[in-house]
Amino acid sequence: MPPDERLGQIAIEDEMRSSYLSYAMSVIVGRALPDVRDGLKPVHRRILHGMNEMGLASNRAYRKSAKIVGEIMGNYHPHGDSAIYDTLVRMAQPFNMRYMLVDGQGNYGSVDGDPPAAMRYTEARLTKVAEDMLADIDKETVDFGPNYDESLVEPLVLPSKIPNLLVNGAGGIAVGYATNIPTHNVGEVIEGLLLFLENPDITIAQLMKKIPGPDFPTAGFIYGTAGIKDAYESGRGLLTLRAKVKVESDERTDRERLIVTELPYQVNKSKLIEKIAELIRDERIKGISDLRDESDREGIRVVIELKRGEIPLITLNNLYKLTQLQTTFGVIMLALVNNRPEVLNLKQILHHFIEHRREVVVRRTAFELRKAEERAHILEGLKIALDNLDAVITLIRRAQSPDEARVGLMREFALSEIQSNAILEMRLQRLTQLERNKLIEEYKEVLKQIEYLKSILGSEALVRKIIKDELIEVRDAYKDDRRTQIVKE
């Protein structure tokens, strides 16, 4: 066949536009942006699901990170092992995650920017928070899709009892889009969700009484509320973050010192100290006589000794101006909604999470109802067999094969094949009076359960109550004190 009949011609700009659009959508949906429902990007979701499949629960033994990375890469995420390990490490770092999703053992890096140990040395397992994000995943609560080679299936979203998008935040750069969502306090977010659940028409100003602003794992201060208000109302805002610095006086030397105990989010302590030292060396800041890092496992402590007669506030303001003791955090609350990137305000994020939990509760209830009805069906068959015990035993003894006995039971007692199989598999001890009473009690309990599950599916108020009760459980399990203080201007 001549080449011109096999190949069509296309303008290069059209091909580039088409191909680049495909690439852009792949990065947006499949790599760089979190889903509004569980707050996870695909690689995070695959790591948590893969660890769950490996049985790495929070109360089980740790497993080598190299083993985990290999499983994830081979089964779900066919990309570089270093990218998977970097993501695993970040989910185990207390200075990056407000509520860690991976419980790491070994050297997982530090706030100084030290790299983690190689994956062959470190170990990991899931945290309780991650387990709550995976809860009920085996009850058909979420959709699954084929993995990269269609040999397995993976969840397209996690059921997530945790409002993870706000709680642990997210950051990422896609093609033409960027997201930068700050971390929050889980107790405050859930209080906001409970308010929203009671009154969907609530205003953002009212919500901010429960969710006053971000809460970073490294604590520090947020200066001003205007940036928070902008972010919550429009999805975009600029926060001013400051380190926590106190002034100590040394009566013996008649000097004062600045003590830094908390840093702005994602500030590297080593680089900060290097920058201050550079400013001292270049004489851009002249009032400092000594600089040392006294940080230990108890926490951060950077000591800045001042020269005699220096006014601490002046030096501190210069440090805020010239170093990362003061930084800005540009909030862009962008996430995937139905696989489309959208900039969302606070109320929209809460709405999408509540809708997700509603779907999870309904699907879980439908699954449990189906299982209960299947069990009731079997118990009905066993009950019929026990009520006609002599006739059943006689029929089975006369049968030449299990198939003949099965068909005979189905014909004689109007049983289904499932019920007949259950009768044939029944152990002889179930024929005792005690076991018969247990079976009758179980049947009554299953009927009650069926009635309750049907009432849930028929009542929006009951579904809402279950969502509320589960949110309260999560709040009570994980709530803690706010770390970042908000200073009003």
Residue 41 contacts residue 31 (beta carbons within 8 Å): yes
Q: How far is CA 426 from the centre of its chain?
A: 43
Cα R_g (the chain), whole angstroms: 30
Q: How far apart are CA 279 and CA 285, in angstroms?
A: 6
121 has catalytic annotation = yes
**Do residues 41 and 28 lie in contact, with contact meaning Cβ atoms separated by under 8 Å?**
no
Contacts with 132 (C-beta within 8 Å, 6 or more apart), sequence order: 160, 161, 162, 474, 477
Position 1 scores a pLDDT of: 47
Full-model pTM: 0.92
Distance CA 336, CA 245 (A): 38
Q: Which residues contact 357 (CB under 8 A, 6 or more apart)?
A: 161, 467, 470, 471
Q: CA-CA distance, 427 to 413, in Å (whole number)?
A: 20
Q: Looking at residue 250, what is its pLDDT?
A: 81
Token pair recorded at residue 225: 């509320």
| Per-residue pLDDT tens listing for the chain (489 residues) | 455 567 778 888 888 877 777 776 767 767 789 999 999 999 999 999 999 999 999 999 999 999 999 999 999 999 889 999 999 999 999 999 999 999 999 999 999 999 999 999 999 999 999 999 999 999 999 999 999 999 999 999 999 999 999 999 999 988 788 899 999 999 999 999 999 999 999 999 999 999 999 999 999 999 999 999 999 999 999 999 999 999 999 877 778 999 999 999 999 999 999 999 999 999 999 889 999 999 998 899 999 999 988 999 999 999 999 999 999 999 999 999 999 999 999 999 999 999 999 999 999 999 999 999 999 999 999 999 888 988 988 999 999 999 999 999 999 999 999 999 998 988 877 777 778 888 899 999 999 999 999 999 999 999 999 999 999 999 999 999 999 999 987
DSSP alpha helices (H): ranges in 128-260?
Answer: 128-134, 164-167, 186-198, 204-207, 226-234
Which of these is catalytic: 76, 99, 108, 121? 121
Strands (DSSP E) found in 24-74: 63-64
